[in-house]
Structure 1
């Protein structure tokens, strides 16, 4: 297999999965909404309060996230109130848990203040901290420098 890092000028970034993912989740508010949804937040007012953005911005962002398939709107109605919607993660949204976990792990190491991280994520079965880990399909942990970049079926080569 040819390692593409050797000749990066020969391939185009037009079909880049990282760039396309950033088109969907690349804003600060989207990542913070995902954090909150993964922590169990469901209602609009709670998202506004916990993420710290205004209602118009939150409404626009939630609409974008529903359109992108990260969240779904579920109607609910409290007695004597009008029908409202709560937001639940879809499978596509829940699949971002390792990404949010990796960002939290990085932030705990490199961005937390002197008191340490504000929250800790632990495995409820054993109580140990949860960390994002790179692992190949065969089950081996993969470290920096142990990854080969090869052509995928959608690679666009420059002429």
Structure 2
């Protein structure tokens, strides 16, 4: 376990938290996922102070999570749109929401997030193995790169 201490210090989690690990940033992202795009919309819906909103939007744009674009119909109006990098945060947002429902509020979220095709609630976000098995806390370990199976043949041989 001692040899894992140094690599863990170089973990990507601190960089991710630097980009979005703050309450207002998550609320802005949630609003973006829900279709808000304009400074004034964020301001009125979130009840956030102008200076904090401007700061958080600038940081999300700087990290490539949102992009700033002038609207085609009125070039003076700016839209903040999710990038692919920003949209990739959706599972994180859903996992945080589900965690909050279970451990903090113990109240189901409203509205309910459903599959557009079937209109059924989505499943709980889970940690999955390479073959799709749901993994629990006792199924996980940290490994050094040389100890990670490279392909399915290596897994079968183990």
**TM-score normalised according to structure 1 size:** 0.81
Is the Cα–Cα contact under 8 Å of residues 20 and 26 in structure 2 kept in the other structure?
A: yes
SS at match of 1:88: strand
Of 126, 129, 134, which aligns to 1:136?
A: 129
- Alignment of 1:23 with 2:46, yes or no, is no
1:52-63 superposed matches below 5 A: 52-63=47-58
Aligned to 2:139: 146
Of 122, 139, 146, which aligns to 2:114?
A: 122
SS at match of 1:92: helix
1:17-56 superposed matches below 5 A: 17-56=12-51
Aligned to 2:68: 73
Gaps spanning 5+ residues in structure 2: where?
147-158
Gaps spanning 5+ residues in structure 1: where?
1-5, 154-159
Q: Which has the higher helix share?
A: 2
Is the Cα–Cα contact under 8 Å of residues 133 and 141 in structure 1 kept in the other structure?
A: yes
SS at match of 2:79: strand
Distance in 1 (alpha carbons) for counterparts of 2:69 and 2:111? 28
Aligned residues: 145
Is the Cα–Cα contact under 8 Å of residues 4 and 144 in structure 2 kept in the other structure?
A: no
Decide whether aligned partners of structure 1 residues 9 and 138 sit closer, same or farther in structure 2, where only a CA change above 3 A counts. Answer: closer
Is the Cα–Cα contact under 8 Å of residues 4 and 142 in structure 2 kept in the other structure?
A: no
Distance in 1 (alpha carbons) for counterparts of 2:133 and 2:44? 41
Q: Which has the higher contact order (CA 8 A, sep 6+)?
A: 1
**TM-score normalised according to structure 2 size:** 0.81
Decide whether aligned partners of structure 1 residues 143 and 48 sit closer, same or farther in structure 2, where only a CA change above 3 A counts. Answer: same
Is the Cα–Cα contact under 8 Å of residues 42 and 86 in structure 1 kept in the other structure?
A: yes
Comparing 101-110 with 130-139, greater Cα deviation is found at: 130-139
